[in-house]
């Protein structure tokens, strides 16, 4: 599957939800995740993310992000409609250390 990684946090641009053919994005307060069992690996969301936060899990070092996506996809609500990005998305885009700011 594809996974949402750190740079989504506090940006949440939401362009990804609009293109997913199987509606497998789940929404937290300041991040989205992909349900790994529902993602069909089509790859169309990856280039749509302005924050370049979406990656295929075949990339190295993404094990913990895959686990985080799987865990939150169980409790967060499904999201299928794009809304506005978070207000300070531009300022947070690319900032390091955002994992500790993730709202569970």
Binding site for ligand SF4 (CB under 6 A): 2, 19-20, 22, 24, 34, 39-45
When the beta carbons of 11 and 24 are compared against ligand F3S, the nearer one is: 11
Binding partner at 53 among ligand SF4, ligand F3S, none, C-beta below 5 to 8 Å by kind: ligand F3S
Binding partner at 24 among ligand SF4, ligand F3S, none, C-beta below 5 to 8 Å by kind: ligand SF4
Q: For residues 23-58, b (16+ Cβ closer than 10 Å) or e, as one string? A: ebbbbbebbbbbbbeebeeeeebeeebbbebbbebe
**Shortest Cβ distance from residue 14 to ligand F3S (Å)?**
5
Residue partners of 88: CB distance under 8 A and separation at least 6: 10
């Amino acid at each position: 599957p594809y996974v949402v990684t750190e740079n989504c946090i506090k940006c949440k641009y939401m362009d990804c939800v609009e293109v997913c053919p199987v509606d497998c994005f789940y929404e937290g307060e300041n991040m989205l995740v992909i349900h790994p069992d529902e993602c069909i690996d089509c790859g169309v969301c990856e280039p749509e993310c302005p924050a370049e936060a979406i990656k295929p899990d075949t990339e190295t070092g993404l094990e913990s992000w895959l686990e985080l996506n799987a865990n939150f996809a169980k409790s967060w609500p499904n999201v299928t409609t794009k809304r506005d990005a978070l207000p300070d998305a531009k300022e947070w885009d690319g900032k390091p250390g955002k994992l500790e700011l993730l709202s569970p």
